[in-house]
Amino acid sequence: MHDVLVPLVEVLEVILNLFKWCVIASIVLTWLVAFNVVNTRNRAVYVIGDTLFKLTDWALRPIRRVMPDTGAVDLSPVVLFLIIWLIQAYLPMIILGGY
């Protein structure tokens, strides 16, 4: 049973790492749009931004709903990174039964 679950844990860790990179790309693109470095009227920028929004918003929206309003600073990605870090730290222990 242990031999079957090790690849599963590795695949889940890769998926979580890819998701973290999508969140980072979304944050950077949001800053670039906010500071008028890139323009969303450009079709490529719009498609990339929309894709990143669709990939990350489902995880960030519940955190934004719970967190208090901090004005222009969005701290929900920091909370999401902490949650992902906790999942990555405890996932092998939970699935593989190790301590």
pTM, two decimal places: 0.89
When the pLDDT of each residue in the chain is averaged and rounded to a whole number, the result is 92
Phi and psi for 54 in degrees, rounded to 5? -70, -30
- Token pair, residue 62, equals 């519940």
pLDDT at 22: 97
Name the strand (E) or helix (H) holding 37. Answer: none
Q: Calculate mean pLDDT across residues 82-98.
A: 87
Confidence of residue 14 (pLDDT cuts 50, 70, 90): very high
Q: Tens digit of pLDDT for each residue in 18-53?
A: 999 999 999 999 999 999 999 999 999 999 999 999
pLDDT at 50: 97
The residue written with tokens 């870090």 in the block is 85
Query: Cα 10 vs. chain centroid, distance in angstroms?
Result: 18
